[in-house]
Amino acid sequence: MKKNKHVITGLLLLLSMAVVISGCSPKEGDSKQKAVIEKVYHWKMVTTWPKNFPGLGTGANNLASLIDKMSGGRIKVKVYGAKELVPAFEVFDAVSRGTAEMGHGAAYYWKGKNEAIQFFSTIPFGLTADEMNGWLYHGGGLKLWREVYAQYNLVPAAAGNTGVQMGGWFNREIKSLADIKGLKMRIPGLGGEVFKRAGGTPVNLPGGELYTALQTGALDATEWVGPYNDLAFGFYKVAKYYYYPGWHEPGTTLEAIINKKAFDALPADLQEIVLAACKIVNQDMLAEYMARNNAALETLINEHHVQLRAFPDDVLKELRRISDEVVEELANKDDTAKRIYASLKKYREQVTAWDEISERAFLRARTIK
């Protein structure tokens, strides 16, 4: 009996220990899990846009808000407009060196770093917004983009698109290519190089400086985005003619750039949340411009008496010829540019064939009387 008693006592002791252990372990595990879940990342986002500017600035705000909500508050992003933390054109460097964890702008602003990265924003007579998204997400463009930006300690993502832009604001009519000669115009990226070869003088200024530059005569003309944004800037007060189409920016992809070290420090689920939020904002911004532009254009014409003009066909034809030269020259500058353009060109040929019997055919059909 004594032996059995000792056995029973031992079993009870072991059972008691198991209960204690089983009672403590989950609590310790929960504590560790809770510590991981409650870790909050505080990020700064610097932008090239004026603070809260419609479409562009608010798009950056929406991205920050989405990241916060989708992460359950585990990533807090504070947005800074141009000049609040760094000047507009220093966003790339600020994020690259880690002064800020994120940036919002457009790749063609950084052509001084590597001319080939302009392909990831827009090229004259290039891809529309939907075509750009197709190339980036399903045509190999995003893979190339990330490869190029990795050397600058950056992770890029499409985070907005303005759709087909307007051709710009002018104080003289453009009846022929001769009217471009000597014209000082704010026009960035490859469009600026085309404008230069057409006889004009391209100037690259951030959006917040354009109104004053037109008003003082420092600029003779400017492009910005489209009616929704241009109305907000009040360009109708300092320029008379509003031209279309935006041959130089047919579907400009805006980018979120993320400091790679900061991105790699995130848990895998938060990395996916950041990238998913960029995708959502990319589509939402395009939808907003599509919804707002025509109402703004009607206000410009009917209330502010802006004179809407189409570029003459012969002017567009010549600009297209020059554009082809400029883009081909860029593509042949180095192996990186060559690879990017080869991918884009192959995709464009395929999507153009499809557009002809889908989008274009439908739009023509919709206007048949």
The pLDDT value recorded for residue 150 is 98
The one-letter code for the residue type at 234 is G
The pLDDT value recorded for residue 38 is 75
pLDDT averaged per 10 residues, the chain (length 369): 44 38 46 62 97 95 98 98 96 98 97 95 97 98 98 98 97 95 95 97 92 96 96 96 98 98 98 98 97 98 97 98 97 96 96 95 95
Q: Kindly give, in sequence order, each residue whose CB lies less than 8 Å from that of residue 63, ignoring residues fewer than 6 positions away.
A: 45, 77, 104, 159, 256, 277, 278, 281
Domain boundary assignment for the chain: 39-162+251-290
CB 120 within 8 A of CB 343: no
Compute the distance between CA of residue 109 and CA of residue 121 in angstroms, rounded to an integer: 9
Compute the distance between CA of residue 215 and CA of residue 211 in angstroms, rounded to an integer: 6
CB 143 within 8 A of CB 219: no
The pLDDT value recorded for residue 221 is 97
The pLDDT value recorded for residue 36 is 53
Q: Kindly give, in sequence order, each residue whose CB lies less than 8 Å from that of residue 254, ignoring residues fewer than 6 positions away.
A: 56, 59, 104, 105, 106, 121, 158, 159, 160, 161, 162, 282, 285
- In this structure, the number of other CB atoms found within 10 A of the CB of residue 152 comes to 19
Compute the distance between CA of residue 154 and CA of residue 64 in angstroms, rounded to an integer: 18
- Token pair 């904002």: residue: 281
The pLDDT mean for the chain works out to: 91
Whole-number Cα distances in Å, 299 to 86, 87, 241, 302, 362: 34, 32, 15, 5, 28
- Element spanning 193, H or E: helix 189-197
The pLDDT value recorded for residue 37 is 55
Structural class in CATH, domain 39-162+251-290:
alpha beta
Nearest to 137 by CA among 111, 110, 157: 157
Phi-psi region of 288 (alpha: psi -120 to 50; beta: other; left: phi over 0): alpha
pTM of this structure: 0.87
The one-letter code for the residue type at 69 is K
The pLDDT value recorded for residue 3 is 43
Coil vs helix vs strand at 205: coil
Phi-psi region of 79 (alpha: psi -120 to 50; beta: other; left: phi over 0): beta
